[in-house]
């Protein structure tokens, strides 16, 4: 694969960097600095679509003529968007909500550039079913460093992998970037060429 123009990932997420880096060897990381709080009455899908678009546009304005990919992921259960837990108590609360149940992971992504403005702005949803998590397991997990920089307080590819019974839909979406849809959109837009 090769890029037709310089490419920027508008995200500080190490997981997105790793996923994209497996396919595209050379890109720049420039995180955006936008307010990520949800708007009143904003659905999870509208929220990730808006944030991914705002992230990509903010970075694109400072880097005209380059392709920019923005993304945002939320974990949703009972209509509540779970952000990144700030404390062990918060991490355990989130695990308690997810324990023994299926939740949604929704990632929005936006591709901006090529002189076209926003070329693609889409959202992908996956379902994740957790096992019943014991109090002891929650205590242990909350003491690790893993929950605190991840939506919903867990990483599917990390220590929490043993909580997961089933995934319905895109695995890479649950990590934070739905590669199938992103790469297809990049190819169609001319931001990526398979060689």
Q: What are the residue numbers of the active site?
A: 72
Q: Rounded to an integer, what distance in angstroms lies between the CA atom of residue 72 and that of residue 176?
A: 7
Q: Rounded to an integer, what distance in angstroms lies between the CA atom of residue 6 and that of residue 21?
A: 14
Q: Rounded to an integer, what distance in angstroms lies between the CA atom of residue 6 and that of residue 77?
A: 38
CA-closest candidate to residue 172, choices 115, 109, 92: 109
How far CA 156 is from CA of 60, 88, 128, 129, in Å, comes to: 30, 19, 9, 11
How far CA 106 is from CA of 102, 137, 155, 181, in Å, comes to: 13, 25, 14, 13
- Asked if residue 167 lies in contact with residue 174, where contact means CB atoms within 8 angstroms, the answer is yes
């Amino acid at each position: 694969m090769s890029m037709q123009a310089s490419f920027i990932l508008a995200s500080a997420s190490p997981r997105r960097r790793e996923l994209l880096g497996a396919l595209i060897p050379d890109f720049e990381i420039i995180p955006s600095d936008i307010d990520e709080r949800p708007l009143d009455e904003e659905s999870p899908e509208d929220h990730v679509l808006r944030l991914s678009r705002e992230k990509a546009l903010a970075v694109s304005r400072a880097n005209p003529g380059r392709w920019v990919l923005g993304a945002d992921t939320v974990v949703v259960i009972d209509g509540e968007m779970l952000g990144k837990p700030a404390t062990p108590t918060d991490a355990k609360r989130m695990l308690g909500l997810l324990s023994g149940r299926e939740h949604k992971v929704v990632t929005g992504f936006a591709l901006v550039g090529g002189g076209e403005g926003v070329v693609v702005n889409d959202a992908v949803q996956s379902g994740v079913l957790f096992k019943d998590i014991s109090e002891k397991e929650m205590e242990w997990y909350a003491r690790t460093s893993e929950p605190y920089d991840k939506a919903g307080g867990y990483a599917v590819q990390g220590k929490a992998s043993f909580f997961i019974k089933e995934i319905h839909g895109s695995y890479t979406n649950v990590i934070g970037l739905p590669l199938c849809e992103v790469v297809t959109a990049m190819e169609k837009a001319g931001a990526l060429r398979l060689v």
